[in-house]
Amino acid sequence: MPKPQPAPFVAKSDRADSRDKPATSIARATPSVAPPPPSDNRLIELLEKDIDKAVEQPRERRRLQFSKDVVEHPRVRQFISQYSVSNKSYFETLLARSGKYMPIIAKVLSEEGLPEELAYLALLESEFQVDTASQAGAAGLWQFVPSTARQYGLRIDDWVDERRDPVKSTKAAAAYLKDLHRYYGRWYLVTAAYNAGPAIIDKALQTSRASDFWGIKEKAQLSQETRNFVPKFVAVALIATNPKKYGFNNLRYEEPLEFDEVEAEGLLKFDAAAEMAEADRAMIKELNPALLRSVTPPGSRGYRLRVPVGKGLVFAKAGEYQRSKETEPVQVVTHEVKRGDTLASIAARYGQAVSSLMELNGLTTARLQIGQKLRVILDGIRGSLR
């Protein structure tokens, strides 16, 4: 492979030891193995052909079908055994969780011209948890670091973190994967670069002068997580697409994520949105994981809020009624803590619940400091059907 030019991507550190994961995480739980045999190069070549073949198909038939040699490769079988035997109970939990996100992720990837099985990269990255984060600052289903997320159009600020949005983050991930493929030209390098970061793979290519992935990893000392990412991906995809074949006979998938989108004008608290949509507040929160403070962001005209499917019209009618009653816009004010102030007294002053004030300001304890500044929302609700 010719020596690449510096990658046009923001670096992402190799995160083998930095992910905030439980000890049984499939991204980290790896049995001790001897250095991979030369036949591992064959796995890479075969996988490359399988993905290229899938991408060349018409969009409606763009599915990743692994060849027999890939399915039966020793490294793949090793991880299949790990997930379906050693860690079966934990992996069953992940498969059940996939029911919530796979339909929407697969739909986005298909629309972007990618095989939907690439969604299982997200299972390896985040275990399909929208709120997971790493010590290195990566977050969301696709574990974007802030710089790369912003490069691909995701909003991150005090109010919103779209890395946690399953739809928007998947669109960004699809664009990122396609850019990586245009740059490297090989899918196995794309998957490795997505996991470790392009800067690490570039350095490995430049310093190892190796012509294959396993040569790169031996000479450049890539992390164990990155070395095993390709066979893990194949193993996960094989089990997830045919779980009964691997002994998962009684899976109970979580319900698919479904919603209506509405326009929420100005600041709208989840409590008010739930009342307008005749829904549970917890459901509004679950459908809008990108909203960090349980309220739509200030300064946004027509923020697209998600409500339970079938509740969009109910929300819109409630919004029209509220607009007919309101005369003053909703606003955020800043309260500076003074001597004698407590969260309870501040909440009472502004007609707020203490829990709402804590959530809005990201507080985990009721302890305040003189001079500390707290956001307070002066209530009001409005919205319309999108």
Quickly state the pLDDT bin for 8 (edges 50, 70, 90).
Answer: very low
316-344: pLDDT as tens digits: 888 775 664 554 556 777 888 888 888 88
Q: Which residues of 104-125 are buried (b: 16+ CB within 10 A; e: fewer)?
A: bbbebbbebebbbbbbbbbbbb
Between CA 118 and CA 123 the distance in angstroms is 10
Between CA 341 and CA 369 the distance in angstroms is 9
* pLDDT above 60: residue 271: yes
Residue 269 within a domain: yes
Q: Which residues of 295-333 are buried (b: 16+ CB within 10 A; e: fewer)?
A: bbbeebeebebbbbeebbebbbebbeebeeeeeeebeee
pLDDT > 70 fraction of the chain, expressed in percent and rounded: 74
- What is the C-alpha radius of gyration for the chain, rounded to an integer number of angstroms? 24
List the domain range (segments joined by +) for residue 94: 39-246
- For position 69, what pLDDT does the model report? 78
- For position 212, what pLDDT does the model report? 55
Of 246, 271, 303, the residue at which a domain comes to its end is: 246
CB 179 within 8 A of CB 150: no
Residue 199 in tokens: 């800067």
Residue 213 within a domain: yes
124 and 164 belong to one structural domain? yes
184 and 317 belong to one structural domain? no
Residue 14 within a domain: no
113-162: pLDDT as tens digits: 888 889 999 999 999 999 999 988 999 999 999 999 999 999 999 899 99
96 and 153 belong to one structural domain? yes
CB 160 within 8 A of CB 291: yes
Greatest Cα pair distance, the chain, in angstroms, is 73
Of 183, 213, 246, the residue at which a domain comes to its end is: 246
Mean pLDDT in the chain? 80
* pLDDT above 60: residue 381: no
- For position 170, what pLDDT does the model report? 97
Closest CA to 128 of 157, 107, 103: 103
Between CA 120 and CA 317 the distance in angstroms is 40
Quickly state the pLDDT bin for 221 (edges 50, 70, 90).
Answer: low
CB 66 within 8 A of CB 237: yes
47 and 138 belong to one structural domain? yes
199 and 276 belong to one structural domain? no
Question: Which uninterrupted H or E stretch holds 95?
Answer: helix 88-111
290 and 315 belong to one structural domain? yes
CATH classification of the domain holding 221: 1.10.530.10
First to last CA, the chain: 49
pTM, full prediction: 0.76
Of 193, 218, 246, the residue at which a domain comes to its end is: 246
Within 8 A by CB and 6+ apart from 4, the residues are 183, 184, 202, 205, 206
CB 150 within 8 A of CB 170: no
304 and 335 belong to one structural domain? yes
Between CA 310 and CA 277 the distance in angstroms is 9
293 and 225 belong to one structural domain? no
Domains identified in the chain, total number: 2
Residue 85 in tokens: 């035997």
* pLDDT above 50: residue 10: no
Residue 127 within a domain: yes
189 and 283 belong to one structural domain? no
- For position 352, what pLDDT does the model report? 80
- For position 288, what pLDDT does the model report? 97
Residue 2 within a domain: no
* Mean pLDDT of all residues in 53-82: 74
141 and 46 belong to one structural domain? yes
* pLDDT above 90: residue 2: no
- For position 161, what pLDDT does the model report? 97
Residue 330 within a domain: yes
* pLDDT above 90: residue 177: yes
276 and 220 belong to one structural domain? no
* pLDDT above 80: residue 43: no
Closest CA to 177 of 69, 95, 105: 105
Residue 68 within a domain: yes
- For position 6, what pLDDT does the model report? 39
Quickly state the pLDDT bin for 386 (edges 50, 70, 90).
Answer: very low
CATH classification of the domain holding 307: 3.10.350.10
200 and 281 belong to one structural domain? no
Between CA 156 and CA 170 the distance in angstroms is 15
For tokens 């969301």, the residue is 140
Residue 91 in tokens: 């992996």
Stated length of the chain = 386
* pLDDT above 60: residue 204: yes
Residue type, 337: V
Residue 131 within a domain: yes
